[in-house]
Every structure is written in C-alpha cells, then in structure tokens.
Amino acid sequence: MIKRIFSFFLFYLLEIYLFLTSKDDLNFENIIIPLYPTIGIGDLIMLSPAIEKMAQLYPNKKIYIVSHLPQFISFSSDIFFIKLDEEKSISSNSLLVSFTLNIKHSKLLLKYKLCLGYFSKSRLQSNIKGLNKSSYNGQVDHYLERAISVIKLLNSKGGQELENEFKLQVIKYPKIQEETFSLIDEIEGKNLILGLFPQFDHSLWALNKAAEVINSLYHQGLIENIIILGDESDRNKSFSYDLMNDLKIPKEFIYNFTGKTNLKQVAYCIRKSAYFFGIDSGLSHIAYLSTKPVLSIFIIAKAINILPQNKDLLKNINTISAYSENELQLFNGFNPVNKVQAKIKSEYIEGSQVILLAKKMMTKE
C-alpha cells in the first residue's frame, strides 16, 4: 500500500515537472529510446516495427536504444544499441521516447530537451506543447499499440500508416540476425527446439508437465531429437537438468545447449529445426518470426496482445493460455502480477491439452 501511494506521488510530481518544462518547438538532434530494466527480448521484437518506423520518419536523426540487450535485430543503419552509462555521451538536445510504461525511465527526463511517452502509469505524457494525450490499456490493447500512439502524436501520417498495417495484420518485422551454430548442423532428423525457461518464474509452466508432452511426442514418432535452449544463468541450467531427468527418451537424442548459444545462434537453431515448443518468452518471440510451426504457452498475458500482427506469421503460431482477465493482473502501471495466482493458473493447463494441440500442429502438413 505504501509503495502504491509513493508511486502515485511520483506520478503527480512528474506531471507537474512536465507541465513546468513544456516547450513549443520540436527541434532535436537525436532520438533516445530507453528499454530497461525489465524490458526483454520479446518486448523489443514487438516494438521493433515502431522503432523502424521512427527511423523512416526521421531519416536525418540517429536513434539510440538504451538497453541491457545486445543488438540482435537487423535495424536500419542509423539505429544503435547502447548501455545505460553510455547515454551520457549523447547530446542533451535530443528527444526522449518511452514506449514501455516504466517509471524508471523518468530519471532521464532531466537530461533531454524533449520527451514523449509512457514514463509512469498508462497515460501518454510529454513536455511538448499542443500534443493531444492518449492512454494505453494493457487488458485490451496490443503491445505495439502503445508505440503507435506515441508515433501518431509525433507524426500523424506516419503513425496512421503503421496503425493501418496493424489493423490489416501486415506489420513488417525486422529480421533477427543469425550466427552459425555448428553443433545443430550435425543433428539430423525432426528436431524440436525447447524454450521453456522464461525471464520470470511466474511465467513458468511445470517442467514435469512439459516432459510429459515431449515424451508423448517422441514415442508417437512425431519428433526425433530434443534441443534445450536457455541462457547461461544457474537457474536455467538447473531447470534444464531437472527437465532432462523427467524425459523418458534415450539420452543420445537429447541435446542440452543451455548457456551455449547467444541470441543470434538461437535464431539459427530455430530456423534449422522442425518445430518450437516453449513458454511466452524471448525465445518464443524469436521463433514467431521464423515461419516454423510454434507452440507457445501463456500464463500471465493474453496471447492476442503480444503476438506479431502479421497474417503470414500468425498462421504458424499455436497457443494455449491460462490467462483470465478477471482473475489475473498484467504488468500494467504499478500493479504487479500476483505470483500465487500465476502458479495456480499454470496448473490449469494439463499436459494432455498441449499434446493434442502439438500433435495437430505436427501432422497438419
């Protein structure tokens, strides 16, 4: 309760500051887009068409993405990834744009001349005079729509173009960069890539249920090799060993590459394999753009709100969701996900449900 009161206090202080520092002109040298601290791989992928659109609308400006992530998307040449401490070298005569509903981006407001975006709560804020404000509702709006609303205020024609593409489900997503991973080239047969270790524990589906699914698919002859991917954290390595212990499959057909691949190699592995099965996570979002058949489980989010809005990509994506807007909160504003509820909701999804959908996906062709 105290944290919530304090957050609202900061929010109103921010509103006052933006009002007192408002400016008439839109002259700026560069565009700064902060994507930290919890903005992950999937978030950046979903926002990437909007970032690319900004580069098209402002061809003479450099765009700096402030992030903990490495550059793994093939953006245009004038979009650069920098770390938080490196932004100090960027001219203060710049436009700060925040798509990501993160109050921690507010500390950059003191540095840059102009600002526009979601710096707290879900209402667009700015110190640019004359802009009509709008808001974002995480319960019903798509992730990309918050970015479209920002662009529409800066450039109504450009924002409307992107919104029209969104509505027609023809959004173009930049390509994920790839890097050869020779070990995957040595594995012959129908490979199933696993991306079962999400960034947050409350997005996790029980690994013993995942093993039930994988065991069934293998023994039905639908897959031949299992490839486990994840980052190098001790948590994910531990998860991978737990999963392997639950798999009733000859060990020579299980390849644990957890901690052995970077993001570009992950993209390469997915493209070289037959199927992808995972939790709503960064790896799943990379898989969404691969045109491979994908099966993804959603625990804390509505799948329809965070999938790529492209008809050709969506036809390859199969989802099962435990989400119910009446029982579970999204990350929106200052309301945290209820972890106990997330755990309960994840139990609603049974292995048998996933097996049926996976079998349908794998035998469709």
> How many other CB atoms sit within 10 Å of the CB of residue 301?
20
Q: Please check whether residue 172 lies inside any domain of the structure.
A: no
Would the pLDDT of 334 be above 50? Answer: no
Model confidence at 343, pLDDT cuts 50, 70, 90, reads: low
Number of domains in the chain: 2
The SS3 of residue 98 is strand
What is the DSSP secondary structure assignment for residue 203, as one 8-state letter?
Answer: G
From 105-119, 162-176, 325-339, the region with the lowest mean pLDDT: 325-339
Residues in CB range of 363: below 8 A, 6 or more apart:
222
- Percent of all residues in the chain with a pLDDT value above 90, rounded to a whole number: 62
The answer to whether residues 206 and 312 belong to one domain is yes
The answer to whether residues 138 and 253 belong to one domain is no
Q: What is the pLDDT of residue 332?
A: 38
Would the pLDDT of 128 be above 50? Answer: yes
Domain boundary among 167, 194, 220: 167
With contact defined as beta carbons under 8 Å apart, do 163 and 55 qualify? no
Q: Please check whether residue 176 lies inside any domain of the structure.
A: no
Would the pLDDT of 49 be above 70? Answer: yes
Average pLDDT over residues 217-232: 96
Q: Please check whether residue 246 lies inside any domain of the structure.
A: yes
The answer to whether residues 135 and 86 belong to one domain is yes
Model confidence at 329, pLDDT cuts 50, 70, 90, reads: very low
Average pLDDT over residues 157-186: 96
Average pLDDT over the chain, rounded to an integer? 88
Which helix (H) or strand (E) segment is 163 a member of? helix 156-167
From 108-112, 173-177, 273-277, the region with the lowest mean pLDDT: 108-112
Q: Higher confidence at residue 274 or residue 21?
A: 274
Q: What is the pLDDT of residue 135?
A: 84
With contact defined as beta carbons under 8 Å apart, do 222 and 215 qualify? no
The answer to whether residues 142 and 194 belong to one domain is no
Q: Which two tokens stand for residue 133?
A: 């404000």
The answer to whether residues 131 and 263 belong to one domain is no
From 21-35, 44-58, 76-90, 207-221, the region with the lowest mean pLDDT: 76-90
State in Å, rounded, how far the first CA of the chain is from the last one.
53
Average pLDDT over residues 347-354: 88
Would the pLDDT of 57 be above 60? Answer: yes
Instruction: Return d(Cα 122, Cα 14) in angstroms, integer.
Output: 13
Would the pLDDT of 4 be above 80? Answer: no
Q: Please check whether residue 174 lies inside any domain of the structure.
A: no
The answer to whether residues 137 and 186 belong to one domain is no
Domain limits at 224? 182-363
CATH number at residue 320: 3.40.50.2000
